[in-house]
Amino acid sequence: MLITETDAQGELIKDYLWQGMMPIAQINHAQDTEQILYLYSDHLMTNRLATNATQHIVWRWEGEAFGNTPAQELIGISVNLRFPGQYFDEETNLHYNMMRYYDPELGRYITSDPIGLKGGLNTYVYAMQNSVVNIDFFGLDVIYNGNVILNPQVHDNLHKLDVVLPGYDVIITGGDRYRDANGNIVSASNDQIVLDSAKKSPHLYGQGARGVDLVVPNATNEQIAKAAKDAGFDPARTIHYPKDDHTHLVLPEDSTYNIPQHIVDEFCKQNPAAKMCNPSPPACP
């Protein structure tokens, strides 16, 4: 992730502050002065607003499925962070994604995946062609398969898991859940009732949306458990289910890891037709 920017002479231009993989502030340096911008992100840790010290909005980037909208620099202040892990290159209008370049007009990478076909048959696809629910922080993929995961800290830990399991695919098999108007526990990914769900499943928005199910082909259960612990998941809650060979991971049971309600609200604002957004209140416990 980007920490500092300097000019050709090595003079400091900008610093960035992060909470996990979510940027929270940009510090502009000019002529021995500092200007702090506070960054506000959506459910995928994508910056959408920047405010100054007086809480006035100075920069905005409106949502569009593949990022093909210009940012609004309201008083000439720029923020060049785009989708998670991306940096806007003004000269080319491309987004640099650490491992390769992304073209928001095309909605795809213009550089092939450095891990080749291990990332899928289409080596130029971005976020499984579903950037409303998926991210690709490093330009290498955690394979979400369309599973809805809105908690930024789950995304953060999943990409840490991907880093500590080099050479393995991390494939998500289960994400967030909600209760419908009849009290059924329903998958936010396909709107199907999850019959065997625990009543207080950590997958539920009302329980913090702290759970995720996944498979890591060719990795042993011991490798997955150790990697999950190293990535920040609660080792006491890691469970392997041999019936379908998936592993259940959970963030620590602490309210600081719960999904903020404003992220669910933002998702529903961008996806008003989503069934999880129709119960009253949205994504109720």
205: domain range? 142-285
Residues 124 and 224 in one domain: no
Residues 255 and 243 in one domain: yes
Q: Which of 93, 125, 140 is the last residue of a domain?
A: 140
Distance, in Å, from the CA atom of 124 to the CA atom of 170, rounded to the nearest integer, reads: 18
- For the segment 223-245, the average pLDDT, to the nearest whole number, is 96
Residues 214 and 146 in one domain: yes
Residues 69 and 177 in one domain: no
Residue 38 has pLDDT above 80, yes or no: yes
- Reported confidence tier of residue 88, pLDDT bands at 50, 70, 90: very high
Query: Which residues 6+ apart lie within 8 Å of 225 measured at CB?
Result: 235, 238, 240, 247
- For the segment 25-32, the average pLDDT, to the nearest whole number, is 89
CATH number, domain of 171, equals 3.30.1380
Residue 105 has pLDDT above 50, yes or no: yes
Q: Identify the residue with better confidence: 21 or 36.
A: 36
Residues 280 and 207 in one domain: yes
Which tokens sit at 161? 């898991």
The structure's pTM equals 0.57
Number of folded domains that form the chain: 2
Q: Identify the residue with better confidence: 194 or 113.
A: 194
Cis peptide before 152 (omega within 30 of 0): no
3-class SS at 240?
strand
Q: What pLDDT sits at residue 118? A: 47
- C-alpha distances (whole Å) from 117 to each of 29, 120, 135, 141 are 42, 5, 19, 12
- Reported confidence tier of residue 108, pLDDT bands at 50, 70, 90: confident
Which tokens sit at 204? 């539920």
Residues 120 and 157 in one domain: no
Q: Which of 140, 170, 204 is the last residue of a domain?
A: 140
Which tokens sit at 26? 């940009």
Residues 227 and 134 in one domain: no
Q: What pLDDT sits at residue 231? A: 94
Residues 192 and 88 in one domain: no
Tally of CA atoms within 13 A in the half-sphere of 96 that contains its CB = 10
- For the segment 23-33, the average pLDDT, to the nearest whole number, is 89
Residues 79 and 114 in one domain: yes
Residues 188 and 283 in one domain: yes
Specify which of 79-93, 127-141, 153-167 reaches the highest per-range mean pLDDT.
79-93
Q: What pLDDT sits at residue 232? A: 96
Q: What pLDDT sits at residue 39? A: 96
CB 280 within 8 A of CB 273: no
Q: Which of 99, 123, 140 is the last residue of a domain?
A: 140
Residues 154 and 25 in one domain: no
CB 223 within 8 A of CB 240: no
Four-CA torsion 52, 56, 58, 63, nearest 10 degrees: 110
CB 171 within 8 A of CB 143: yes
Residue 78 has pLDDT above 90, yes or no: yes
Residues 36 and 63 in one domain: yes
Q: What pLDDT sits at residue 121? A: 54
- Reported confidence tier of residue 134, pLDDT bands at 50, 70, 90: low
